[in-house]
């Protein structure tokens, strides 16, 4: 169903996208994904272009929630990030972002795999502000994805480094139509070149994995990949995020589509009250149980909520320690709040369940 407040535009002039038009604290974005789109193309470059994608479908749904980064594990390592993001499709991963008047960018991806928390710090520019026809930017990043113990073929360890080179251009403007409605928009084309390099540690030295060792491990020492995306942005207040985003091949044929399904909503993102020197929670990540110990003297009860703000559990907590079972919790992020007898939050932070 089309939103009543979203009209059909007749673009007479291109729009300008500013930081105030993009997602912010407390916004929740629901995207639909069509994984096997019909044979369509991204369209043409230039002024006053019209793209009609009103028949795309929603094979998969994904929800992104934007909140205070301090509510996410690992925030101390990224003190300059001012926005956190979690995705319903990635229940063991979360993101640290920077949004300011010049850009919206990813600073870090945090993940929990096999109970181990890992961090991949990199700056990936999503969009720059202000954007209009002809706006371009280039960026690059190089870093380590992880180190792995090998103990085979005389190799002590392996590590993988990742290099990203990104080229972005606003190459078209005009109306774009999806099942949500018709929006005046700018189209952003991004070409991203990725290089994964595998290194081996031998004789106290890191070297790129040689061909014979790579064959034994069944992998390529250097892997190259190029991705291309076309993204339509709007300054319509019903948007706040990309209207539609398409992965496409060099010939322009689209392989996957993400699109904004409903109007963005706001969720509660109460500022965390952190008193780390007086409260501890372990283990984190947790599998079966968590224990919370406190030196607070005015604690009365504890409440646990999920990432949507839904209350999961409430317990009396007026002692120095409490143990709670999380064995029936789904993998993901949870938040707890310790309240005093008057209902005031005197401590709150987060934990991860990973089984």
Q: Say what the pLDDT of residue 308 is.
A: 65
243: CATH: 2.40.360
Residues 193 and 323 in one domain: no
Confidence band for 114, pLDDT divided at 50, 70 and 90:
low
Whether 6 is covered by a domain: the verdict is no
Residue 350 vs residue 169, higher pLDDT = 169
For range 254-272, the mean pLDDT: 78
Q: Say what the pLDDT of residue 166 is.
A: 94
Q: Say what the pLDDT of residue 104 is.
A: 97
Q: Say what the pLDDT of residue 9 is.
A: 43
pLDDT in tens, 206-226: 989 988 888 887 888 999 999
Q: What is the DSSP letter of 71?
A: G
Q: Say what the pLDDT of residue 117 is.
A: 74
Q: Say what the pLDDT of residue 74 is.
A: 79
Of the three residues 209, 231, 266, the one that is the final residue of a domain is 266
Q: Say what the pLDDT of residue 7 is.
A: 38
Lowest-pLDDT range of 140-154, 190-204, 264-278: 264-278
Which whole-number Å values give the CA distances from 202 to 50, 149, 169, 305, in the listed order? 57, 12, 43, 48
The Cβ-side half-sphere exposure at 276, using a 13 Å CA radius, reads: 7
Residues 6+ apart with CB under 8 A from 258: 31, 32, 33, 62, 242, 244, 245, 246
The label of the residue with tokens 């540690």 reads 201
- Domain range holding 333? 279-353
Residues 149 and 256 in one domain: yes
Question: Tokens for 195?
Answer: 């290089």
Residues 249 and 315 in one domain: no
Torsional sign, CA 123, 127, 128, 134: positive
Q: Say what the pLDDT of residue 3 is.
A: 30
Lowest-pLDDT range of 26-30, 242-246, 258-262, 344-348: 344-348
Torsional sign, CA 122, 107, 149, 195: negative
Residues 322 and 187 in one domain: no
Q: Say what the pLDDT of residue 227 is.
A: 96
Q: Say what the pLDDT of residue 2 is.
A: 29
* Res. 36: pLDDT tops 80: no
Confidence band for 6, pLDDT divided at 50, 70 and 90:
very low
Whether 112 is covered by a domain: the verdict is yes
Residue 181 vs residue 345, higher pLDDT = 181
Number of domains in the chain: 2
Lowest-pLDDT range of 96-110, 238-252, 309-323, 341-355: 341-355
Q: Say what the pLDDT of residue 78 is.
A: 86
Q: Over pLDDT 90: what percentage of the chain? A: 47
Residues 199 and 318 in one domain: no
Q: Say what the pLDDT of residue 276 is.
A: 55
Interatomic CA distance for residues 116 and 140, integer angstroms: 28
* Res. 274: pLDDT tops 60: no
Residues 234 and 212 in one domain: yes
Whether 179 is covered by a domain: the verdict is yes
Whether 272 is covered by a domain: the verdict is no
328: CATH: 2.60.40.10
Residue 276 vs residue 177, higher pLDDT = 177
Residue 188 vs residue 352, higher pLDDT = 188
Interatomic CA distance for residues 117 and 102, integer angstroms: 31
Of the three residues 202, 236, 266, the one that is the final residue of a domain is 266
CA nearest to 187, candidates 170, 204, 165, 202: 170
Residues 181 and 297 in one domain: no
Of the three residues 241, 266, 291, the one that is the final residue of a domain is 266
Residues 233 and 117 in one domain: yes
Residues 257 and 313 in one domain: no
DSSP per residue, 309-336: --EEEEEE--SSEEEEE-TTSPSEEEEE
Residues 39 and 110 in one domain: yes
Confidence band for 8, pLDDT divided at 50, 70 and 90:
very low
Confidence band for 347, pLDDT divided at 50, 70 and 90:
confident
Whole-number mean pLDDT of the chain? 86
Asked if 324 and 287 count as a contact pair (C-beta separation under 8 A), the reply is: no
Angle (CA) 193-77-163 rounded to 5° is 15
Whether 251 is covered by a domain: the verdict is yes
pLDDT in tens, 301-315: 998 987 766 788 989
Q: Say what the pLDDT of residue 4 is.
A: 28
Residues 249 and 308 in one domain: no
Residues 312 and 291 in one domain: yes
- State the Rg of the chain over Cα: 23
Q: Say what the pLDDT of residue 10 is.
A: 47
Whether 80 is covered by a domain: the verdict is yes
Q: Say what the pLDDT of residue 97 is.
A: 95
Whether 10 is covered by a domain: the verdict is no
Measured in whole angstroms, the distance separating CA 309 from the mean position of its chain's CA atoms is 18
Question: Tokens for 266?
Answer: 């706001």
Whether 107 is covered by a domain: the verdict is yes
């Amino acid at each position: 169903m089309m939103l009543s407040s979203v009209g059909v535009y007749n673009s007479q002039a291109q729009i300008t996208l500013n930081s105030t038009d993009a997602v912010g604290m407390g916004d929740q974005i629901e995207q639909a994904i069509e994984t096997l789109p019909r044979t369509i193309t991204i369209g043409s470059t230039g002024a006053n272009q019209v793209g009609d994608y009103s028949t795309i479908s929603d094979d998969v749904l994904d929800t992104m929630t934007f909140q205070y980064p301090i509510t996410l594990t690992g925030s101390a390592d990224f003190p300059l990030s001012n926005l956190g993001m979690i995705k319903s499709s990635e229940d063991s991963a979360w993101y640290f972002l920077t949004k300011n008047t010049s850009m919206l960018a990813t600073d870090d991806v945090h993940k929990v795999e096999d109970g181990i928390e890992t961090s991949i710090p990199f700056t990936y520019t999503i969009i720059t502000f202000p954007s209009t026809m002809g706006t371009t930017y280039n960026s690059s990043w190089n870093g380590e994805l992880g180190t792995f113990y090998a103990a085979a073929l005389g190799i002590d360890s392996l590590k993988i480094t990742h290099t990203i080179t990104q080229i972005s251009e606003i190459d078209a403007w005009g109306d774009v139509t999806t099942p949500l409605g018709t929006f005046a928009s700018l189209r952003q084309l991004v070409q991203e070149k990725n290089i994964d390099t595998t290194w081996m540690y031998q004789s106290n030295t890191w070297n790129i994995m040689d061909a014979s060792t790579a064959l034994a491990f069944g992998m390529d020492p250097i892997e190259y990949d190029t991705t291309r995306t076309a993204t339509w942005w709007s300054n319509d207040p019903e948007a706040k995020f990309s209207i539609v985003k398409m992965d496409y091949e060099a010939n322009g044929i689209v392989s996957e589509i993400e699109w904004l399904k409903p109007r963005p909503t706001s969720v509660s993102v109460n500022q965390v009250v952190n008193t780390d020197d007086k409260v501890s929670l372990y283990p984190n990540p947790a599998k079966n149980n968590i224990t919370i110990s406190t030196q607070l003297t005015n604690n009365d009860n504890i409440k646990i909520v999920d990432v949507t703000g839904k209350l999961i559990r409430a317990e009396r907590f007026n002692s120095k320690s409490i143990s709670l079972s999380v064995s029936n919790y789904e993998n993901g992020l949870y938040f707890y709040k310790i309240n005093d007898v008057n209902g005031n939050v005197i401590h709150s932070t987060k934990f991860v369940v990973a089984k």
